[in-house]
């Protein structure tokens, strides 16, 4: 038995082992494909975070039946022990061996002269490969082919579309089953399904990729907006309202006409061209320009929940997370460069506060640094990057610096939140901008009476409210924190004779500011409980003869937990406490 066989792998090496294992399975798969489709041209087949894939150029796309046949062929290979053998060869040998494989030839051409060219062979199948692999096909204990998808060669949409087969493999059947279970779990949390089941939102083909928020969805949406407004008050933001549609001269001046036109909706009226705003920044620049500003006024923080429209190519939209019509908790901070550090620090504090209120964990940040092509002097970039870095360091958040990934107009911070099942979502973004102030010739009057150029910090904490809501739904599997739940409590009378008392209970809760409903339908109590569970209502207050007699309610939580009967006053206090603590 090989030293690193699964039965005694050190957990810290597990990731490396899986990497090797999946890479090996992708070879076994390629071998099966070549056997079944001799004309197939092989591209690449790397392991990924959760599995592996291999890209092929074939005369016809793979069908689900093909996948099954490939999988069966693979099982024959792993039923016996076929060793993986490494071989090094010269460039000339490699080119000769892969003469019929154009993609491999391209890969060979890309290998630097001083690096070895190696192949791995198992059985009669030999593939250009750096390795490493497991010892033999017998080490493959558990794998599954998952799906077929189109993928461009080298990720370039101008190059051929290949057929990609995705699969995954684990060191044991148990681990594979657990992974497949996680995939099902993700499906169970799909916000598009929950959105319909919970009556939050829907889509209609007449407005593709544009959500309709139903009363409950709009309620949650507005709760998020109201929450941000409450933070704005504390953090010194001023909310503004700006137009939806602007003459294209504005977009020419802002640079959107040259750089973003493909994503904009254009309108012609009275021989003039207009563009629907995809972003708020140019409007905020106009607002800033409308008055002369003193250094004493800075920073000026304009917040705007304005609706934005971006034309997204069909095929890229997805539920609430990628839409064509949305709004952000957007703001633009006009300030002096030396104020940037403090502003970023405040935005990060706001991020921490709001994420915790929404039940999300500690996010991870990236700091994108100056790119090759950029505006401004090195000195400005030094100061800008230092300001962002210092603020991140002071925040205590973990972050990684990404060289060259900044925007041409300034460095930026992106935030990634992890949801309950470990997926990361990009939400907040903070971008420093030295370009727009230039384009709009923004200025303020300094202490000495001279005119100086401010910088702009673009920032959104939740990001798009739509997207944030979608992530929240998946994170909580629809069971919102109590303060965000559209219905916080439902009163369930056991029989019709309890409706009167139930109404009193509901009225009391309502007067205490709790969003409450009463289920007076002609159903058995069990069915009412079930419906409330399915709606993920945090508190079920069941009332029957006993409760009516002594002014109490029997409390059931959506977790299934059953605290039982308690005086109404106590239940009210408990619910109000949960709301106030945003737990």
Which residues contact RNA (rule: CB under 7 A)?
A: 61, 63, 147-152, 155-157, 161, 163-164, 192, 196, 203, 205, 208-209, 254-256, 259-260, 279, 281, 312-319, 322, 407-409, 494-497, 522-527, 529-530, 533-534, 540, 542, 544-547, 554, 556, 560, 562, 564-565
- Which of 124, 168, 221, 222 is closest to 25 using CA atoms? 168
Nearest to 427 by CA among 366, 468, 474: 468
Query: Rounded CA gap, 541 and 447, in Å?
Result: 63
489, 541 Cβ separation under 8 angstroms: yes
Q: Which residue, 122 or 310, is less far from RNA as judged by CB?
A: 310
Burial pattern 186-210, b for ≥16 Cβ within 10 A else e, equals eeebbbbebbeebebbebeeeeebe
C-beta of 84 vs 326, nearer to RNA? 326
Smallest separation, CB 546 to RNA (Å): 4
Instruction: Kindly state the smallest distance separating residue 65's Cβ from RNA, in Å.
Output: 11
How big is the chain by its Cα radius of gyration, in Å? 29
Residue 479 to residue 482: CA distance in whole angstroms: 8
CB nearer to RNA: pick between 117 and 491: 491
Please tell me the distance from the alpha carbon of residue 417 to that of residue 397, in angstroms, as a whole number: 12
**Helices and strands counted in the chain (H then E):** 18, 28
CB-CB neighbours of 463 under 10 Å: 22
Quote the least distance from Cβ 49 to RNA, whole Å: 11
Active-site residue flag, 173: no
- Shortest Å, Cβ 196 to RNA: 6
Max Cα–Cα distance, the chain, nearest Å: 93
Q: How far is the CB of 90 from RNA (least distance, A)?
A: 32
Complex with RNA: residue 255 or 376, whichever CB lies closer = 255
Q: CB-wise, 8 or 313, nearer to RNA?
A: 313
Least distance in Å: CB of 68 to RNA? 14
- In whole angstroms, the minimum distance from the beta carbon of 396 to RNA comes to 27
Angle at 349 between CA 345 and CA 354, to 5 degrees: 145
SS3 360: coil
536 tagged catalytic: no
End-to-end Cα, the chain, rounded Å: 51
| Catalytic-role residue among 101, 163, 328, 339 | 328
Active site residue: 164, 412, 475, 556, which one? 412
**Residue 283, phi then psi, degrees to nearest 5:** -65, -40
Nearer to RNA, 87 or 546 (CB): 546
Whole-number minimum distance, CB 182 to RNA, in Å? 13
Per the annotation, the verdict on 20 as an active-site residue is: no
Please say if 330 is a catalytic residue: yes
User: Of the candidates 298, 310, 194, 211, which has an alpha carbon nearest to the alpha carbon of residue 251?
Assistant: 310
Catalytic residue among 66, 127, 330, 519: 330
Exactly one of 18, 141, 277, 281 is catalytic; name it: 281
Beta strands in 103-257 (DSSP E): 117-122, 125-128, 142-152, 161-170, 201-202, 212-213, 238-239, 245-247
For residue 57 the two structure tokens come to 């150029």
| 129 in active site | no
Q: Which residues of 310-337 are buried (b: 16+ CB within 10 A; e: fewer)?
A: bbeeeeebebbbbbbbbbbbbbbbbbbb
Closest approach of RNA to the CB of residue 226, in Å: 27
Of the pair 18, 412, the CB lying nearest RNA is at: 412
- From the list 27, 164, 256, 310, the catalytic residue is 310
Are 24 and 133 contacting, i.e. CB atoms less than 8 angstroms apart? Answer: yes
Q: Two tokens at 527? A: 């069915």
How far is residue 303's CA from residue 280's CA, in Å, rounded to a whole number? 9
Q: Which of 27, 141, 332, 558 is catalytic?
A: 332
Nearest residue (CB) to RNA, 49 versus 379: 49
Distance CA 197, CA 212 (A): 14
**Separation of alpha carbons 93 and 310, rounded Å:** 52
Q: Which is nearer to RNA, 202 or 451 (CB)?
A: 202
Give the residue numbers annotated as catalytic, written as ranges.
281, 310, 328, 330, 332, 412, 458
């Amino acid at each position: 038995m090989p030293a690193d066989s699964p039965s005694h792998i050190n957990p810290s090496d597990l990731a490396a082992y899986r990497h090797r294992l999946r890479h090996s399975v992708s070879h076994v798969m390629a071998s099966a494909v070549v056997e079944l489709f001799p004309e197939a041209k092989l591209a690449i087949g790397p392991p990924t975070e959760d599995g592996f894939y291999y890209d092929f150029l074939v005369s016809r796309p793979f069908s689900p039946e093909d996948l099954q046949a490939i999988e069966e062929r693979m099982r024959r290979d792993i039923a016996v022990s076929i060793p993986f053998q490494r071989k090094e060869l010269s460039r000339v040998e490699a080119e000769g061996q892969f003469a019929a494989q154009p993609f491999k030839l391209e890969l060979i051409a890309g290998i630097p002269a001083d690096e070895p060219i190696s192949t791995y062979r198992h059985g009669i199948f030999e593939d250009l490969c750096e390795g490493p692999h497991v010892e033999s096909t017998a080490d493959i204990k558990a794998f599954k082919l998952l799906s077929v998808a189109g993928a461009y060669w080298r990720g370039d949409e101008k190059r051929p579309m290949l057929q990609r087969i995705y699969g995954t493999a684990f060191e044991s059947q148990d681990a594979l089953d657990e992974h497949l279970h996680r995939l099902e779990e993700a499906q169970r949390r799909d916000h598009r399904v929950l959105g319909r089941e919970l009556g939050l939102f829907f889509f209609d083909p007449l407005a593709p990729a544009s959500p309709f928020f139903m009363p409950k969805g709009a309620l949650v949406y507005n709760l998020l907006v109201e929450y941000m407004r409450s933070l704005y008050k504390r953090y010194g933001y001023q909310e503004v309202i700006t137009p939806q549609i602007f003459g294209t001269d504005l977009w020419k001046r802002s640079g959107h006409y040259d750089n973003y036109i493909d994503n904009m909706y254009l309108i012609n009226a009275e021989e003039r061209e207009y563009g629907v705003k995809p972003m708020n920044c140019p409007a905020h620049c106009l607002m800033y320009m409308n008055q002369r500003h003193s250094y004493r006024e800075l920073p000026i923080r304009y917040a705007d929940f304005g609706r934005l429209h971006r034309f997204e190519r069909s095929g890229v939209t997805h539920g609430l997370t990628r839409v064509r019509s949305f709004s952000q908790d957007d703001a633009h901070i006009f300030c002096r460069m030396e104020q940037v550090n403090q502003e970023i620090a405040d935005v990060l504090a706001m991020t921490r506060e709001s994420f915790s209120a929404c039940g999300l964990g500690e996010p991870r940040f990236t700091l994108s640094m100056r790119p090759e092509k950029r505006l401004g002097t090195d000195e400005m970039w030094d100061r800008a990057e230092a300001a962002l870095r210092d603020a991140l360091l002071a925040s205590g958040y973990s972050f990684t610096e990404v060289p060259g990934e900044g925007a041409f107009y300034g460095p930026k911070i992106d935030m990634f939140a992890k949801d309950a099942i470990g997926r990361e979502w990009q939400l907040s973004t903070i971008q420093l901008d030295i370009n727009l102030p230039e384009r709009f010739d923004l200025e303020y009057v300094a202490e000495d009476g001279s005119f100086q150029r401010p910088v702009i910090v673009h920032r959104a904490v939740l990001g798009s409210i739509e997207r944030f809501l979608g992530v929240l739904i998946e994170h909580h599997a629809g069971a919102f924190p109590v303060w965000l739940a559209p219905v916080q409590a439902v009163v369930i009378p056991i029989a019709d004779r309890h409706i009167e008392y139930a109404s009193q209970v509901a009225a009391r809760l309502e007067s205490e500011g709790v969003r409450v409903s009463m289920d007076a339908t002609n159903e058995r109590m069990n069915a009412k409980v079930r419906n409330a569970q399915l709606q993920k209502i945090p508190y079920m207050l069941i009332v029957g003869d006993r409760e009516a007699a002594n002014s109490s309610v029997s409390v059931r939580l959506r977790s299934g937990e059953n605290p039982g009967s308690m005086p109404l006053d106590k239940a009210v206090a408990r619910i109000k406490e949960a709301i106030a603590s945003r737990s």
